[in-house]
Amino acid sequence: MVKIVEKHVQLDFPLGHHLHCLIAQIPNRLQRRDHLFLLANPEEQWHMVRSVLDLVADGAGNLKRLHFLQFPETSVPVSHFDDLLDVIAERFRPNTVTMFGMEQIRLEQYRALLNRFQDDNAEALECVERDIDSGDILGMPVNWCCIAIKETSGRLRVFLEAKTHPFRGEEFLDKDHDLYRGRHFYLFRGEPACFNFMTIICLDYLYRDLYSSNIKQIIDHSNRLFFTMRQSLDALFVIQCNPKPEHSAYRDVLTGFYGEHLEDTPGVRETVTVFGNCSDESEIEGVRCQGCYGVSFVAISARHKMSPVQEREFASDDFAGAPVCRLRFGTGTRLFYFNLPLYHELDPRSSRVPLKVHTVLRWTDGGWIKASGGEEHVL
């Protein structure tokens, strides 16, 4: 099964105050070329990605307070990987985490990138080298993502992960063209603020075999963190390019993750799970569906308070009876800016609401504009 690697990063988040997250729900248009899923128009895609980066760097409104920026799976052209890192290094504020999925590449290229950023990815490189030593696999496709962390000092750290489980379009009888299975997840230990978080890719949230599952390993590791250090997993970010974002399998796993039906799971009891998908303008060659993407959402334990709300751009519910409170966004091309809730169980002495949507922006030819009147919406 997958290996969870802890990494200590310097993030001086404000104590006792909620953190802010921006989901960039932008379209992905992917074509198959030489058994890789690649962006149909990488320059057009980069234009949209760059517009989001510029918005964050400029800090319009209260975006200066942004801590987490999340792009979808396979949404950034490989040709602009360094350009994106340069923007983060030169223009982003310290204490900012940017998570983004990259175009697919060959394992040989992925290995070269791990070598390039070896200081932060030594354990991942070791896993890849072990796999390469066991067979001729350098030509296998890799679905990968990057977590770029600009620390308090301004130092940029670059962490790479490979998807551990393919969707049906990435899996073949011909093993040479089958998706490479990633061997590790990072668990980031933010210090001195004591904020712990992980980033994984889409179906990695669901994957299981006869012996274990990815999510059970995350729960067990987080529980050990709680029992030994009285810390927990504060946030789990799932980047997606998912035509079935509300499939019952996601509800089932969320029920197991938050339900505590068989045992106490204090390590993930207060975890905020953020699913960031691509928008309904997305197209994946070989996947037939119409307007079936989007629906990024945030899930927290039902121990929190969240009133039922139905707005044009978002709603709140319990995901068809799951033991969660869910903030469910729409399907269009949007930027969703909201806060991550503080630790907060049901308590009659408290009237604080756990989630607040600060801004929803929609895409136009002239750039990003507010999708509504601009007021903050309280759930």
pLDDT, position 17: 80
Output the CA–CA distances (angstroms, integers) from residue 217 to 1, 121, 184, 204, 257, in the order listed: 9, 20, 11, 12, 11
Instruction: Give the span between the Cα atoms of 60 and 79, in whole angstroms.
Output: 28
pLDDT at 352: 64
Amino acid residing at 369: I
| pLDDT of amino acid 178 | 78
Q: What are the residue boundaries of the structural domains of the chain, listed by start?
A: 3-378
State the pLDDT at residue 375: 47
Residue 61 CB contacts under 8 Å (≥ 6 apart), including other chains? 358, 359
pLDDT of residue 14: 87
Q: What is the pLDDT of residue 210?
A: 80
Give the pLDDT confidence score for residue 376 in this predicted structure.
47
pLDDT given at position 298:
97
Do residues 18 and 65 touch, judged by C-beta distance below 8 A?
A: no
> What is residue 341's predicted lDDT score, i.e. its pLDDT?
83
* Under-70 pLDDT residues of the chain: 168-177, 291, 343-352, 372-379
* CA angle 239–7–301, rounded 5-degree value: 50
Given this model, what pLDDT does residue 350 score? 60
> Which pLDDT belongs to residue 138?
92
Question: Concatenated DSSP letters for 284-306?
Answer: ETT---SS-----EEEEETTS--
Per-residue model confidence (pLDDT) at position 171: 56
Kindly report the CATH number that applies to the domain delimited by 3-378: 3.60.110.10
